[in-house]
Amino acid sequence: MGVLLARGRARRSGNGWWVGRVPGPASRYMDLNWRRVFRMGGVMKRIGTIYLRLASAALALGFSLPSLAAVERWKLNMTPGVTEVSRQVYDIHMTILWICIVIGVLVFGAMAVAIFRFRKSRGAVAATWSHNDKAEVVLTIVPVLILVAMAWPATQVLIHMADTRNAEMTIEVTGYQWKWGYRYVDSDVSFISSLARNSDDTRQLGSGLSPDQVKSYLLDVDRPLVIPADTKVRFVITSGDVIHSWWVPALGWKQDAIPGIINDQWTLVKEPGIYRGQCAELCGKDHGFMPIVVEVKPKTEFAQWLAAQQNPDAAAAAAAIATTAEPVAAAAAPGQG
């Protein structure tokens, strides 16, 4: 190679460095090979660089996702969620996953047998036929039947998910850069739900605060959406600026919030609790900082909460009476508590 480099003219091509043609019949053959080798080297280097960049981007993204902190290690599957719909989605996901696993094992198993058992070094001779009507009919009909068998239950779940009839209440959800607006359509209660203050302070560049010290970092809000348990709630979802997506995994669906369009979805959560989610559509620089918190309260507690929202003055007065009454009660019973 040193000789070639010395005798030939080194040139720069689009794919990297390669050695120019060296005169003479014998060296011409070698020259051509080296050129290919250098070109291949350049291509491989480029592919390697692309893979490296992709891998580092994926790693950076993975480490920066706040929800990862809340996820148990190696729990990679979907969660069954807390609604009938989410459980149906989970079941259909598992059914189709197992069908895909069986197909994968059969196809790759057949491929492995073909590659290793019928290899040239063992004297295998390739068949000469190129067309077989029977095989083509079977290989078309069988996948179609498998697809229909998968589409049938999936469609039933989709139809069930889309059925927002007979909802007991409606909540309008509006995405904004970078917060969520909620309006209880039937009771005229509305508010904005933004990233919790402690998360917001901590996330600022050079804040000096540690995310480890913040509970539910980047997954908490100042005002959660409150809904009643055991009640069919209809959501009408839209956006005030760009496309967002309202996503609480435990409810089993995500819905795009699109300006000028109203999409609807519904949920019915049996168990009271706190369920968290995030905007799932890249919507601008603070896309990662508009979490969703849904607080499901028992029906009676929800009714009290809603009444307090409708009449905040009365609620504040009741709270003031409660706080002034507390020391009296404590003084009346000093030996208790």
Measured from the CB atom, is 24 or 284 closer to Cu ion? 284
Candidates 36-44, 119-127, 135-143, 238-246 — which segment interacts with Cu ion by CB under 5 A? 238-246
Asked if 219 and 276 touch (Cβ cutoff 8 Å), the reply is yes
Helices (H), the chain: 2-7, 25-64, 67-70, 84-117, 133-162, 197-203, 299-310, 312-332
Cα 151 to chain centroid, rounded:
23
Measured from the CB atom, is 89 or 279 closer to Cu ion? 279
The distance of closest approach from Cβ of residue 175 to Cu ion in the complex, given in angstroms and rounded to an integer, is 5
Measured from the CB atom, is 227 or 283 closer to Cu ion? 283
- How far is Cα 250 from Cα 256, in angstroms, rounded to an integer? 17
Q: Can you tell me which residue has the tokens 């003084």?
A: 331
The distance of closest approach from Cβ of residue 288 to Cu ion in the complex, given in angstroms and rounded to an integer, is 9
The distance of closest approach from Cβ of residue 176 to Cu ion in the complex, given in angstroms and rounded to an integer, is 8
The distance of closest approach from Cβ of residue 177 to Cu ion in the complex, given in angstroms and rounded to an integer, is 7
DSSP letter string over 254-298? Answer: EEEE-BT--EEEEE-B-S-EEEEEEE-S--STTGGG--EEEEEE-
The distance of closest approach from Cβ of residue 287 to Cu ion in the complex, given in angstroms and rounded to an integer, is 5
Measured from the CB atom, is 279 or 294 closer to Cu ion? 279
The distance of closest approach from Cβ of residue 74 to Cu ion in the complex, given in angstroms and rounded to an integer, is 29
Measured from the CB atom, is 214 or 292 closer to Cu ion? 292
Measured from the CB atom, is 22 or 218 closer to Cu ion? 218
Q: Segment 194-213, which members bind Cu ion (CB under 5 A)? A: none
- How far is Cα 165 from Cα 28, in angstroms, rounded to an integer? 79
The distance of closest approach from Cβ of residue 195 to Cu ion in the complex, given in angstroms and rounded to an integer, is 12
Candidates 11-19, 230-238, 242-250, 323-331 — which segment interacts with Cu ion by CB under 5 A? 242-250
Q: Which amino acid is at 179?
A: K
Site string for Cu ion, 282-321 (x = CB under 5 A): -x--------------------------------------
Q: Segment 49-88, which members bind Cu ion (CB under 5 A)? A: none
Measured from the CB atom, is 250 or 279 closer to Cu ion? 279
Measured from the CB atom, is 189 or 257 closer to Cu ion? 257
The distance of closest approach from Cβ of residue 328 to Cu ion in the complex, given in angstroms and rounded to an integer, is 48
Q: Quick check: 189 binds Cu ion (CB under 5 A)?
A: no
Q: Cα angle vertex 264, ends 262, 269, to 5°? A: 150
- How far is Cα 248 from Cα 291, in angstroms, rounded to an integer? 9
Measured from the CB atom, is 68 or 282 closer to Cu ion? 282
Q: Segment 257-286, which members bind Cu ion (CB under 5 A)? A: 279, 283
Of 81, 244, 250, 275, the one binding Cu ion by CB under 5 A: 244
The distance of closest approach from Cβ of residue 277 to Cu ion in the complex, given in angstroms and rounded to an integer, is 11
Q: 21 Cβ partners below 8 Å, 6+ apart?
A: 8, 28, 31
- How far is Cα 319 from Cα 324, in angstroms, rounded to an integer? 9
Tell me the site size for Cu ion, rule CB under 5 A.
3
Asked if 184 and 169 touch (Cβ cutoff 8 Å), the reply is yes
- How far is Cα 233 from Cα 267, in angstroms, rounded to an integer? 5
DSSP letter string over 199-211? Answer: HHHHHSTT----G
* Contact residues for Cu ion, defined by CB under 5 A: 244, 279, 283
